Amino acid sequence: MDSIATEILLELHFSLESSIDVQFQAWMAITFAVIVASYSSGDALKTKVRIVVAVAYLMAAYTLFARWMTEVSRLNELIQPVLASRGVVADVRFYTAEARMITYALGTVIATISIFFFRPTNQELKDDSDRDT
């Protein structure tokens, strides 16, 4: 890595950070889609279908998480030490990763629970046709 220019390493660093952001956005999209679909389906889905949806969601969430961790390790183990040895500090604030991880964990749990338990209340519409206006 010593033969690679600092500018190229910085570009690679920012590219990996951008990829991590895109993966987090993809996770947010599938999480909200699962929550909305679970709520909208109400009691229409059978338990077996809900289990399949939960497994598919958890597999997708795990895949995005694994890619995220792989790219974080690439940043931490390969790129940042070389940049640091050249006097360039391009480190992410510590609370950013922790906040994202907490959001990811809680969101995944909530979305998985929503598949089985978030259902709209079946309220009948009130007939106000007899009411005087």
Cα–Cα separations (whole angstroms), residue 18 to 21, 22, 25, 77, 86: 5, 6, 11, 18, 22
Report the chain's C-alpha Rg in angstroms. Answer: 22
> Is residue 88 a part of any domain in this protein?
yes
**Cβ-proximal residues to 17 (8 Å cutoff; 6+ apart), any chain:** 75, 92
Comparing 91 with 4, the larger pLDDT belongs to 4
Q: Strand locations in 16-120, DSSP E?
A: none
> Is residue 30 a part of any domain in this protein?
yes
> Is residue 75 a part of any domain in this protein?
yes
> Is residue 125 a part of any domain in this protein?
no
**Owning domain of residue 94:** 6-117
Quote the number of domains for the chain: 1
- pLDDT level of residue 52 (50, 70, 90 thresholds): very high
- pLDDT level of residue 85 (50, 70, 90 thresholds): confident
> Is residue 127 a part of any domain in this protein?
no
Is 0.85 topped by the overall pTM?
no
> Is residue 19 a part of any domain in this protein?
yes
Average pLDDT over the chain, rounded to an integer: 83
Taking residues 3-13, report their average pLDDT.
Answer: 84
Helical H runs in 75-122?
Answer: 80-85, 94-117
Sign of the CA dihedral running 43, 48, 52, 58: positive
> Is residue 57 a part of any domain in this protein?
yes
Taking residues 51-63, report their average pLDDT.
Answer: 95
> Is residue 48 a part of any domain in this protein?
yes
Cα(43)–Cα(33) distance, rounded to whole angstroms? Answer: 17
Burial of residue 69 (CB within 10 Å: 0-12, 13-18, 19+) is exposed
Other CB atoms within 10 A of residue 92 CB: 15
